[in-house]
Amino acid sequence: MKSTIPWLIAAVAGSVVIAAYFIPAAQSWQDAIGQWFEVLAAVAFILGGANLCLQNLQKISARQAGWGYAAVTLVSFVVTLGVGLLKIGVPVEDPQHPWAGSYQAEGSAEWWLFEYAYNPLVATMFALLAFYVASAAFRAFRLKNAEATLLLLTAFVVLLGRTYAGTVLTAQVPDEYSAFSIPGLTTIIMGVFNTAGQRAIMIGIALGVAATSLKVLLGINRSYLGSGDG
Amino acid sequence: MNREKRIWGILFVLAGCFLLYRAMLTRDGMGKVYLKPAAAAVADAPPSYVRARPDDPQAALSLPRTLGIWFAAFLTLSIFSFLYKDNPFYRFAEAVMVGVSAAYLMVAGFWDGIVPKLLGRLAPAQMSWASPSLENQSPDWWGLVPLVMSAMLLARLLPRGGWIARWPLAFIVGTYAGIRLISFLDADFVSQIRNTIVPLVVMNQAGQLDLWGSVRNVLMIVGVLSSLAYFYFSLDHKGAYGVVARVGVWYLMITFGASFAFTVMGRIALFASRLEFLFDDWLWLIDPLGKRSDLL
């Protein structure tokens, strides 16, 4: 019973969404389900936030290794949540509705945190990956066999072809042979070989997603329900 | 103190001295943000401000934004310090990132999701303080369904009875599976096959053979079919089929090479933008956009 009813709920919800694609009359049901889905996704963030608080509080109370960083996480979380929910610093555009302004309006405290904490942190974290991608590539893409060589050469040509260096290096190539210049080769790689490979990958992914979705809707895969009694 | 630590210590002291010199002893300093009042688009609009050049007579120093620049620079350098090794500055920045991003998503979920789509539907008149457009709407009692499911989802936090959360969880998984099934089959499966069905012999408008167009289409179709052949594991990759699959591997290697190049370029661009922030907005050593060119 504990897994049959959830499966029925999943099957009905998924089937309505699929049916709405083929039956225009069912479109309003899909819209309603879509709105419920968005509300539940927002509530899932509350669940995630509560879990984050619990985990960090446990770490602090047990004085586990790195509990100071757990305190920093908790303080950042509470401050960002507080100023965002209370809309601190949001300019009042309509005195009749002082709470109607956007929580991310320029000049508000939440905007400040997004602009000067969240954005730099996320951008720098991803920028850091440039070094690790390069270092991993150096180790992984040695000219071990024909396939690795092909991958390395393609990457090299595309990297050069998408920068000014590629244009300068093959500037002497006559126009009638421009397909053999580095930017020309890059265009061919991207337009023909890369497109063909990406298409095959996308078709494969689509088949995989369709198969997995059908397994969920037909109740063959119920792993998302967990195994315990809860 | 070993030699390495001594060298790092000296470097940090020198960097600190340079920052102090830039901030205190030069005419215009560094890392400051100036604002000036913006022209109001509508009468009675609340005052708004725009970035101003430091030498603008209307410009005034914005303390919150100046502190923001310094805080962002500190966080940026803290993250980059991981390139040397794991250290307390990096761990601090990482902890701030986890806390701020989780709370930001929660705030966005509350104001963009729960308020207009749940509370606003159930009690529009009472929620008009947050969204004036709700004022004249009537309650939609179907909103009780997501309310009940939300309460059930939060039951996961209870020590017992967490299984109640399985119902809304099943709803989320089922809906997502339905959406994905249709969108992937439509956008990725059908449309990609449709785009691959192209003529092998291409003629131009004058009725002559377009050699490059034909070669291009042949290479494309061969690439898609051979790459798909590689992904089909129910047949042994031997003999003629093995040759086709091997051609597919070459196509895939070219695809991965191109994807790798784009990933590297994207990351390098991000890295360059962070350096630009440090050298332009914080240190005022460069000025690519001419924000204060006469001050450099």
Residue B197 has φ and ψ, to the nearest 5°, of -80, 90
CA A42 – CA A48 distance, rounded (Å): 10
Structure letter (DSSP) for residue B209:
B
CA B278 – CA B74 distance, rounded (Å): 10
Going by pLDDT thresholds of 50, 70 and 90, the confidence category of residue A229 is very low
Q: Scanning every residue of chain A, which has its alpha carbon at the shortest distance from the alpha carbon of B252?
A: A197
CA A11 – CA B167 distance, rounded (Å): 12
Beta-carbon separation of A84 and B129 below 8 A:
no
Residues of B whose CB is below 8 A from A39: 113-114, 117-118, 146, 149-150
Q: Scanning every residue of chain B, which has its alpha carbon at the shortest distance from the alpha carbon of A42?
A: B109
Residues of B whose CB is below 8 A from A196: 219-224, 227, 251, 255
**A60-to-A65, A142, B97, B103, B158 alpha-carbon distances in Å:** 9, 46, 18, 19, 21
Residues B248, A200 contacting (CB under 8 angstroms): yes
pLDDT tens readout for residues A59-117? 999 999 999 999 999 999 999 999 999 999 998 877 888 888 889 999 899 999 999 99
Rounded to the nearest angstrom, the minimum Cα separation between A63 and chain B is: 16
CA B65 – CA B73 distance, rounded (Å): 12
The residue type of B76 is T
Burial of residue A19, with CB atoms counted within 10 A of its CB: 0-12 exposed, 13-18 middle, 19 or more buried: middle
Beta-carbon separation of B177 and A217 below 8 A:
yes
Beta-carbon separation of A76 and B95 below 8 A:
yes
Low pLDDT (below 50) residues in chain B: 296
A225 CB neighbour count, 10 Å cutoff: 19
Rounded to the nearest angstrom, the minimum Cα separation between A64 and chain B is: 15
CA B253 – CA B246 distance, rounded (Å): 11
Q: Nearest CB to A91: which of B46, B154, B156?
A: B46
Give the whole-number percent of chain A exceeding pLDDT 90.
62
Chain pair A-B, CB pairs under 8 angstroms: 405
At B259, list the tokens. 């994807």
**B36-to-A90, A109, A171, B50, B62 alpha-carbon distances in Å:** 18, 19, 48, 6, 9
CA A224 – CA B172 distance, rounded (Å): 10
Q: Scanning every residue of chain B, which has its alpha carbon at the shortest distance from the alpha carbon of A102?
A: B111
Beta-carbon separation of A6 and B48 below 8 A:
no
B17 CB neighbour count, 10 Å cutoff: 10
B240 CB neighbour count, 10 Å cutoff: 7
Beta-carbon separation of A124 and B94 below 8 A:
no
Rounded to the nearest angstrom, the minimum Cα separation between B36 and chain A is: 13
The residue type of B175 is T
Q: What is the pLDDT of residue B294?
A: 58
Nearest to A120 by CA among B282, B18, B16: B282
* A167-181, A190-204, B25-39: range with lowest mean pLDDT: B25-39
Host H or E run for residue A210:
helix A195-217
B273 CB neighbour count, 10 Å cutoff: 13
Rounded to the nearest angstrom, the minimum Cα separation between B196 and chain A is: 8
Residues A64, A84 contacting (CB under 8 angstroms): no
DSSP secondary structure letters along B41-86 = SSTTPPP-EEE--TT-TT-EE-HHHHHHHHHHHHHHHHHHGGGT--
Helix-, strand-, coil-residue percentages of chain B, each rounded to 5: 70, 5, 30
At B130, list the tokens. 């947050």
B161 CB neighbour count, 10 Å cutoff: 12
The pTM score is 0.86
- Which residues, in sequence order, are bridge partners of residue A116? none
Q: What is the pLDDT of residue A135?
A: 81
Q: For chain A, what are the domain ranges?
A: 1-85, 89-136, 141-230
ipTM computed for the complex = 0.86
Beta-carbon separation of A205 and B184 below 8 A:
yes
Q: Nearest CB to B104: which of A10, A80, A106?
A: A80
pLDDT tens readout for residues A29-41? 989 999 999 999 9
Host H or E run for residue B36:
strand B34-37
Rounded to the nearest angstrom, the minimum Cα separation between B214 and chain A is: 12
Q: Nearest CB to A69: which of B92, B175, B220?
A: B92
Going by pLDDT thresholds of 50, 70 and 90, the confidence category of residue A144 is confident
Beta-carbon separation of B113 and A38 below 8 A:
yes
Beta-carbon separation of A130 and B268 below 8 A:
yes
Q: Nearest CB to B228: which of A84, A128, A203?
A: A203
Angle B48-B50-B56 (CA atoms, 0-180°, nearest 5)? 125
